[in-house]
Structure 1
Amino acid sequence: MSDKGKPAAKAVDKDAQNRKEIIRAIKGPVTERVLELIPALKSYDDPYGTVMATPDLLFACLQLVTTRREKFHDLIVDGNGAPVEDNDTPLRCERTLNQIVGMVVRSGAKAYADHRWGTALKPPGKVTQSPATKSLLDKLADLVKGKWSEAEQPKPSPTQGDKFYAAIKDHLDFDWQVPLIPYFAEIPVKLINELGKGVTTLRTPEGIASLADIGRHSMEQARKILSDEMMREMLDTQPLAAKGVAFLGKERYEFLHGAVYEKMGDKFWEMCVDCDRLEAMEVQNAKDLENMAEWLHEISGETINQLVHYLQFNQIPIFLGVAQERLGEGPFRAIFGPPGNKKLIKMFCEKTQRTPLDPSDPLEDLKRRLPDVFGAYLRSPADFEKGL
């Protein structure tokens, strides 16, 4: 009998099968294991649905898989059933643990959006937040209302959750983003679309609030000043730099870009976040700025002013390099970064200026002597500040 009349067998979509298996495992054995470890979650009518729609709970559960990995060893296995100890080796489902976490983060954002705004078939649910989270969200909502047009503000509607999720989903991959989902939801969808992957640079609620505080005017001013290529790079790297670019204006931006961008690369945008720093740079010449380009994204406006006032041109990079190495990154930023310690900045610069140097090779002598200056501070910060 001929088979000519039979339709061709439908090709098996292995990736779709694996995805279904991952979802089945998360809803089934993984959720059961989490409930064993956190019995309080059993009090919910739908523990899985509640956790997925509640970012704080979802983040805690994701952290549980990391901190108590041994409790999930029989579920985190490769194709041969052997436990996988890292996050980048493919599991039985042919995806890594990191990729699965990304799936969960995106699912959590979708669940939160559906719960908050409702869907075409289901009304919004009651979203509960801790007092601290609610306070920050209220502040963020006020900033959005004050800085962005009414038409761009999120409004409760059957499709708002879908719009938010469509805008954010391609930029959600990491567990640290889960607690930020309620804050991302306060950003106008139009701005999320404009930021693109730059959303992932906003790693704190305060950072998201700072973006909202910038406002549409500064963003549009930055767009007028920057080329399309530079605007995209800024948004992808550090969107908070829009405020600084707008502050500079076209002429001064082009001067600074020409002076230091080649040496700084994308750290240039981090430099542009602080307007006080940019104001201090406005009165400096290009050579001085180029000489400290390696540190301009870290140091304060006060540091820039004092360095140029007290030190010779070729002493500045030596000073900053030794200070960073001798003090360590944390203390270096605390003293020389914004807002910094004005008294100590001046004292370090004055002591460097007064240090007697070998005239035959003053720069090498400065490299030898500067560690002692910073070492004296490290041995006794209080005495150093008193000038002892």
Structure 2
Amino acid sequence: MSEVDHNKAVRNITEALKGPVADVYRDLIPAFSDMKGDSFYDSVIASPDMLHGCLLIFRKRRDAFSHLLVDAKGREVADDFVRLRCGRSVHDIIAMIVRTHAKRHFRDSLGGDPNDASSKSGRLYAAMNEYLIHEWQVPLVAHYAPLPLAKMRELGPALLELKTAAEVDAVVAAAGGTPIVNGKPVLSIAPPRNGNGAAALAPPRAEEPILVQTNSREADFWWETLNDAMVRNALGSLSDNDKRELTAAFCSISETTRTHLLGDFSLSLFQGAVLLTKCYQGLGRATFAQVFGKPGSPDTVKAFAVRLKAKNVSSRMDLNTLARTAEANLSNMGRATPRAGGPRPPAARV
């Protein structure tokens, strides 16, 4: 396809994302109702959490977008690799979105114009762009940014073999770069150990209220997820106050928690809600905030993620098994998991 045709296709897709696609999201997510097309598009593309959430919603509610997913003859397309009317497939469009997000992040974190191959961000993007193709890479973009250019050129397509932030961070560190965790450079990604070989946990802190703006778009994502029938079935009865408390806690988790408990396992929002709820119920508000909140305890989070990985937690694990696995692996992180039927942790005021 010629450069002119390519540019036209990109413009058409971008206009669709700002127009009819944004309209669908506004219908599905009330919090988006006051966002115009350009504002919606810019906000989502700039935020890894919002972008990843929107892509997950697309997968769950593809039926809501079916009128847009048609070929040149108006027939509905269910295959990600079949061309749509715009001349691109769903797979192509997702790759374009991931690349656009990467450009935004590289520009902000590395400086320069990512479209200019002579700039720092442009050199890394040029070496990486053909391998930015999957939605699961969105949470990894921030971890790609510190990759030394020479290492990225050496990796080539092997970049796609790095499926978790921890794997990317390890490559960055081995190549002499400085991994970014929780928005800050870290010199070591190995958790310190106590005398028993377990990750050290900071001393308990007094109970403090979790303060968060619960009318945020992220809060809407978590609220809708906690109200999903499959999630309710895995978690049992939750009152509206329970869900408000959990939503506030989830909106306050650290980037390390997002990366190592959600991103590294490629968990869906539903799986993430079940895992975090069991952690919250098992540890209580104060310890949950101490470990998973901001700034939290990154070393403890990573050690917990290692235990979950050893129990074969993955995006393929069903919600009920995930709930049981999370409960069974909390014992070394603070106070013991409460017995069935025992008192719930104290409620946070939100």
TM-score (norm 2): 0.44
**Highest relative contact order (Cα 8 Å, sep 6+), 1 or 2?**
2
User: Which structure carries more helix by proportion?
Assistant: 1
